[in-house]
Structure 1
């Protein structure tokens, strides 16, 4: 059986959410962060050379990296899912763009901010501009379509979800000036699969949807 290793309050919630959207059977293993370092505990680190989540096991396979895991699960367990538009779909390119934007831009920006804060410095203006541009880009995209993947919910939305929700619970960023994003998060929060996923992987932690 597919096993999903989830580190609490981390991007591995994406994998749990995907499995719930696809209606897959899977074994979920939860790990709490080390109370001092806030990093993964030794038993999770031992699973993969990068010592971070997400990690899945499928038979003899051990696989890390959110995008790789999502592509693997879809390709093996749900190749015909509507969560991934095909090349003839009008939303094909849009879906691909936002699917990769999630880690290549948005998560990278977030990690830069964490690193700067860790040394008690301020973001250099060019880097801060990169951050503000990204969030303005997200807001504008949701003024064009209901979902990042286009007219329908796709794996691009799942990939972006962590940065737009859980990650915001640990900074002071407000989205009150982003009506499109606020409306979008209401749509996401109403999804049964999202609610099931968060109840399983983050029990007692209310999703950050506003």
Structure 2
């Protein structure tokens, strides 16, 4: 006798569509962008944050209960943005529109978006939230802590990261050269957060990155992804 899980898997397989479990104002926005660039049919199941957390219902899809998650057409659930991006490109980029000419470099930049930028942005977010949610007069202490963390760690790391990315982009339109690639999708979210929350300023110092972000925002697929999603306000992250 088939289990409920097997029945659900069969239903997904018959539908033949991947399902994206999406959370508002999260890194799954870049997955929406990629899906729109690929031009494939997919099902979107969007959730809204509840006290800055993903709703508990997502644990029914995967025990971690975090977005993004992608359920494939044959019923397998994939977590972690880099893996989801790789799967979608391998499975659906049949014309090689986003094929990398330097796979090692592509993986370096894609990993940099999470392994290097991730901890720094998380630290900056933490100290910022700490200040915003600490009552007076303790907030004087937390502001001092935030100042030291920024001076001794996050600001320096942001500066090194932006200098590196500015150099890697060079005179190209995209990080992979003339065509979009995995690294562009992966880097979009951390840069949106860094710039959107005012932690860094690209104007004047990093003109290539500034132009890259403008090109991303001008793409029709990016705009369609924003329209299909349920909100993308990086200033709202961490606020109850």
2-structure distance, mates of 1:50, 1:133: 32
For the residue of structure 1 that corresponds to 2:85, the secondary structure is: helix
Q: Which runs of 5+ in 1 are unaligned?
A: none
Alpha-carbon separation, structure 1, partners of 2:233 and 2:66: 23
1:53 has 2:53 as partner: no
Q: Distance in 1 between matches of 2:217 and 2:69?
A: 25
Unaligned runs of 5+ in 2: 1-16, 131-141, 236-240
Query: TM-score, length-normalised on structure 1?
Result: 0.84
Secondary structure of residue in 1 paired with 2:67: coil
User: TM-score, normalised on structure 2?
Assistant: 0.74
Alpha carbons of structure 1 residues 23 and 170: separation in structure 2 relative to 1, 3 Å: same
Shift of 1:200: 0.9
Query: Cα 1:60–1:152, aligned 2, differ >3 Å: closer, same or farther?
Result: closer
RMSD: 2.4
* Deviation (angstroms), 1:80: 4.5
Partner of 2:20: 4
Larger radius of gyration: 2
The 8 Å contact of residues 30 and 201 in structure 1, kept in 2 or not, is answered as: yes
Contact 2:25–2:233 (CA<8 Å) still a contact in 1?
no
Q: Is the 8 A contact 2:48 2:230 kept in 1?
A: no
Larger RCO, structures 1/2 (Cα 8 Å, 6+ apart): 2
Distance 1:207 1:109, change over 3 A: closer
Tell whether 2:143 aligns with 1:115: no
Report how many residues are paired. Answer: 201
CA distance in 2, matches of 1:190, 1:47: 33
